[in-house]
Amino acid sequence: MNILLASSEVYPFSKTGGLADVAGALPEALVKLGHKVLVVSPWYKTLKAKNAPLWIGDEWVPFDNTIETCGVGVLEQHGVTYAFIGHHYFQRDSLYGYEDDTKRFCLFTRAIPQAGARLNFVPDIIHANDWHTGYLPMLLEHGWHMPSGYVRKPSVFTIHNVQYQGNSGLDETLSWLRLPGFLRDSYMNYFGSANAMQAALGFAHRVTTVSPTYAEEIKTPAYGYGLDGTLRHISGKLSGIVNGIDTDIWNPKTDGQIAQTYTAKSLTKKVLNKQALCERFNLDVNKPIIAVVSRLVDQKGIDVFIDGATELLWQDWNVFVQGSGEQDLEAALYSLTARNPGRFASFVGYDEALAHLVYAGADTLAIPSRFEPCGLTQLIAMRYGTIPIARATGGLADTIRANETGFLFDHLNVSGLLWATKVARDAYDNHSFWQSMMKNAMAQDFSWERSAQAYIELYKSIHG
Ligand code: ADP
């Protein structure tokens, strides 16, 4: 199958979040299954590539009632072809956060079929991701000046986070995209303004989220950020496919960033990582460690964890938190660390090498998220035999098997969290039970190959 995947960010070239990881890993996994993949993404000023893409020339892109010229750069890596769209819109210090973001990504979206055609790539499936490429399914269906091979092609749209939707004025959006006026009354219309994500929900042939439970949750007002009604309406074509992790980077058997490598068969060696972590952060090594590795933002429920921290110490846990984000949460961590020497430690900042040691050295990982489209930290923790204690939401509910590979709780408040940590703390004292739980967790398959297989099944269901 020929698959075109469009994404506003793709690892390792550009990244602000999980979308980049998916756009980086899924195409490689699809190629390994024997498919041909073209990834189209913007050529940012900050593009990180060992070898610069080869500039193959300019394309005329129908845009804003005229024609814009966009450059196309091409790169091959691990069997995947990347086409990068160049335009001064993307020559800025950050990927997003500008007033004209919707317009910028309408231009990007408009340039995608043009770039694909320039490379003589005739797709069987076009896979768009998040609001930045949300208008692509509608363009394929109704766009003027579309290259042959792209008209009415089957499309898949994946929601990585429904919170961000891409809003703009209806008329201006139609003229940016050079689409006919009757589309004013289509799915792009969200209470009188244009909404890129809702357009995608309406026009894509299939809509996915990055976990089945998140696909259910976003159909409710509490999680749908205003699109729950539309999501309920299109639920017949909505499903969830869980992300994978890079099992080469996250492998306790070969990980060069931890103090001691180990496997499920040599679990006794895991404790050397705990010792290294405790030495570095002055923690008492004889108590179990409950750790957090997270962005410190509202979504992750770290405020609840902090509120329950003192009682966690009473439950006889040592606590280690690694994260960065909101200032009040960072300040609370500094204060807890200062007040509880030997028992509570923290690292405020982003440090990938340290995260490896934490996954290897901790006994449990707390993930009290308010919502979690998929989540990676629980997958990584399980691979390192570190037991997740997580809120039963989104991908956390789908990937953690309660009391077999981790612990789940429903209510996001201090009592909900402490109930689960108490159950885990008691289980920890049952040595043989805990050992079998660690082995169960390490035996799970969270490879991208598994997810890629699920995407192929989905693509096949709409490819004629
Ligand atoms: P999100 O993308 O919402 O932040 P995920 O669970 O999908 O959450 O992915 C988080 C990723 O970021 C994981 O790989 C985790 O190890 C990493 N991470 C989060 N915070 C830090 C930090 N402070 N230092 C290093 N890595 C971090």
pLDDT digits (tens, 9 = 90+) for 358-383: 999 999 999 999 999 999 999 999 99
- Which pLDDT band, with edges at 50, 70 and 90, does 123 fall under? very high
Token digits for 238? 């909505």
Nearest CA to ligand 1 atom 22: 350
CATH classification of the domain holding 186: 3.40.50.2000
107 within 8 A of 63, measured Cβ to Cβ: yes
Per-residue confidence (pLDDT) for residue 322, from 0 to 100: 97
Atom of ligand 1 nearest to the CA of 322: 23
Domain containing 364: what range?
267-445
Nearest CA to ligand 1 atom 26: 352
Q: Is the pLDDT of residue 25 over 90?
A: yes
CA 315 to ligand 1 centroid distance, Å = 27
Atom of ligand 1 nearest to the CA of 359: 16
129 and 9 part of one domain: yes
Per-residue confidence (pLDDT) for residue 170, from 0 to 100: 98
**111 in any annotated domain:** yes
424 and 456 part of one domain: no
314 and 214 part of one domain: no
Residues 72 and 42: their CA atoms lie apart, in Å, by 9
Q: Is the pLDDT of residue 44 over 80?
A: yes
**250 in any annotated domain:** no
- Which pLDDT band, with edges at 50, 70 and 90, does 326 fall under? very high
Atom of ligand 1 nearest to the CA of 243: 7
**290 in any annotated domain:** yes
CA 206 to ligand 1 centroid distance, Å = 28
- The residue-averaged pLDDT of 78-105 equals 97
Q: Which of 16-25, 73-82, 198-207 is the least confident region?
A: 16-25
- Point out which residues pair with 252 in neighbouring strands: none
Main-chain dihedrals φ then ψ at residue 130, nearest 5 degrees: 55, 175
Q: Is the pLDDT of residue 16 over 90?
A: no
Nearest CA to ligand 1 atom 19: 294
195 and 343 part of one domain: no
Per-residue confidence (pLDDT) for residue 49, from 0 to 100: 82
Nearest CA to ligand 1 atom 18: 294
427 within 8 A of 435, measured Cβ to Cβ: no
224 and 341 part of one domain: no
Token digits for 327? 């200032």
Q: Is the pLDDT of residue 350 over 90?
A: no
CA 295 to ligand 1 centroid distance, Å = 6
200 and 325 part of one domain: no
CB proximity list for 246: less than 8 A, separation 6 or greater: 25, 448
Predicted model pTM: 0.93
Domain count of the fold of the chain? 2
**386 in any annotated domain:** yes
Residues 177 and 135: their CA atoms lie apart, in Å, by 8
For residue 427, with 0-12 CB atoms within 10 Å meaning exposed, 13-18 middle and 19 or more buried, which class applies?
Answer: middle
Nearest CA to ligand 1 atom 7: 375
> Which residues, judged by CB distance below 6 Å to any ligand atom, belong to the binding site of ligand 1?
17-18, 293-295, 322-324, 350-352, 355, 375-377
Averaged confidence pLDDT in the chain: 96
207 within 8 A of 225, measured Cβ to Cβ: no
For 266, the enclosing helix (H) or strand (E) is none
422 and 453 part of one domain: no
Per-residue confidence (pLDDT) for residue 50, from 0 to 100: 82
- The residue-averaged pLDDT of 299-309 equals 97
List the one residue out of 272, 277, 279, 254 whose CA is nearest residue 383.
254
127 and 148 part of one domain: yes
CA 232 to ligand 1 centroid distance, Å = 30
292 and 392 part of one domain: yes
379 within 8 A of 399, measured Cβ to Cβ: yes
* Edge-to-edge strand ranges of the sheet holding 80-86: 54-63, 66-77, 80-86, 36-42, 2-6, 125-129, 155-159, 206-209, 238-240
CA 150 to ligand 1 centroid distance, Å = 36
282 and 415 part of one domain: yes
Residues 72 and 408: their CA atoms lie apart, in Å, by 47
**304 in any annotated domain:** yes
% of the chain exceeding 70 in pLDDT: 100
Atom of ligand 1 nearest to the CA of 295: 20
CA 355 to ligand 1 centroid distance, Å = 9
**313 in any annotated domain:** yes
**128 in any annotated domain:** yes
Q: What is the pLDDT of residues 197-218, one digit of tens each?
A: 999 999 999 999 999 999 999 9
Residues 194 and 107: their CA atoms lie apart, in Å, by 15
DSSP 8-class letter at 397: H
CA 324 to ligand 1 centroid distance, Å = 10
**433 in any annotated domain:** yes
156 within 8 A of 4, measured Cβ to Cβ: no
Atom of ligand 1 nearest to the CA of 347: 23
Q: Distances from the Cα of 246 to the Cαs of 70, 154, 256, 372, 446, in angstroms?
A: 33, 29, 15, 19, 9
- The residue-averaged pLDDT of 267-277 equals 97
Q: Is the pLDDT of residue 18 over 90?
A: no
458 and 433 part of one domain: no
425 and 458 part of one domain: no
